[in-house]
Structure 1
């Protein structure tokens, strides 16, 4: 399964008002493993940044003026994402900008080219309702190092999102798995005879048993006597 984690930076917040894409970052995973086949593009927006946007990404008008326009990079972008699952944090924002850029030059919509778009923000809100689910908040929650994120950058943010998504959806602690592949690319996982392990049972001493009983009594009191285990023990 080919997954692309995508992020964009823009001149502002509204593609309908003429704001444009200035940076695109893509990180590729195949079978949930980093491939290193990433894509990073800067784009000349042919208009000035808003002051608020410049504070976020730090890409100046002078720097962007030397970059190719969207029409010049569109084939490279579409060839790269074609047929893949695209994972974006707050997908409506990035897809809205991409679709405006594509419509402007008479090309098919972004969603017509890719297999599907998955919004990681919606996934995070389902998992953590009522909590902050920004990329920074998720990095902190899943212990993903984002110390280098002093400014937003499309490729950096796409990479952070890939790390967060893997931990959010599977609990895998790293994107690179040091495991040999078997037949047809399947992971060769060594079999372990669990009978060779001895289970060590450590019984609580008297003080620990008393402390546990006191804790259970406090919990029963706090619940108004509605706990089940005292009746089961009786």
Structure 2
């Protein structure tokens, strides 16, 4: 199954009050394995960048002023997203900004039925624990040493690794069927090899399991020396 893990950076916390999406990063996974395909874009928000937001992601108004408007490149984003389920950390936040940008230019919002929230998954799996992306990276040993500031593509790449761990990790041995013989002829050959190996081993006599007379005598002597034995009452 194809899934897209994504993250956004914004000018603030609420698109309803005029905050805008300024960056999006997406990572493609198929069967919970990264394919190497990704999508990344910056957007000119056509407004100022609050200092608090810039401190989080490092994106200034001057830097973004030369980037395209969302309306000019949104079709590339939608093409990458396709109809895949969309995975995000605190997904309601990212969906809110993405859909706000789409509605702003008269496009249909993305259905919330496609949303997979890793915070909700982590809350069920680790109740009472810290649920930030940093905390989950630490819990699962995901290297985030190169994460100085928030960045949409980097955070999506980290989240992709965390998402796999939240769903059981990369289980070795689940693809044993892939190593099975490809045909009946191969199966016969493999069986013959195993039979030959068994036949070539030296035959060992069965080991005795009954106690010897000497062992029985020592046991009787040991039992007789136990004082106030429960079985003698």
Query: TM-score under structure 1 normalisation?
Result: 0.73
- Residue 170 of structure 1 is matched in structure 2 by 168
Paired position in structure 1 for 2:65 = 65
**Counterparts of 2:168 and 2:179 in 1: how far apart (Å)?**
17
Deviation at 1:93, TM superposition (A): 0.4
Aligned to 1:160: 158
Where does residue 25 of structure 1 map in the other structure?
25
Matches within 5 A, 1:98-177: 98-111=98-111, 116-172=114-170
TM-score, normalising length: structure 2: 0.74
The whole-number CA distance in structure 1 between the counterparts of 2:20 and 2:91 is 16
Alignment of 1:85-104 (within 5 A): 85-104=85-104
Q: Aligned in 2, Cα 1:147/1:64: closer, same or farther, shift over 3 Å? A: same
Q: For the Cα contact (< 8 Å) 1:4–1:26, is it kept in 2? A: yes
Cα separation, 2, equivalents of 1:154 and 1:5? 10
- 1:127-174, Cα deviation, whole Å (9 max, x unpaired): 111111100000000000000111000000000000001111022179
Q: Would you say the 8 A contact 1:42–1:64 is kept in 2?
A: yes
The alignment's C-alpha RMSD in Å is 2.6
Q: Which residue of 2 aligns with 1:37?
A: 37
Structure 1: distance between partners of 2:99 and 2:3:
20
Q: Which runs of 5+ in 1 are unaligned?
A: 180-185, 197-234
Deviating runs (4+, > 4 A) in structure 1? 190-193
Deviation at 1:92, TM superposition (A): 0.7
User: Structure 2: how far apart are the matches of 1:97 and 1:122?
Assistant: 19
Q: Offset at 1:187?
A: 7.4
Q: Distance in 2 between matches of 1:187 and 1:38?
A: 30
Contact 1:167 1:173 in 2 (8 A): no
Offset of residue 188 of structure 1: 2.1
Corresponding residue number in structure 2 for 1:217 = none
Query: For structure 2, which runs of at least 5 residues remain unmatched after alignment?
Result: 182-189, 192-196, 198-233
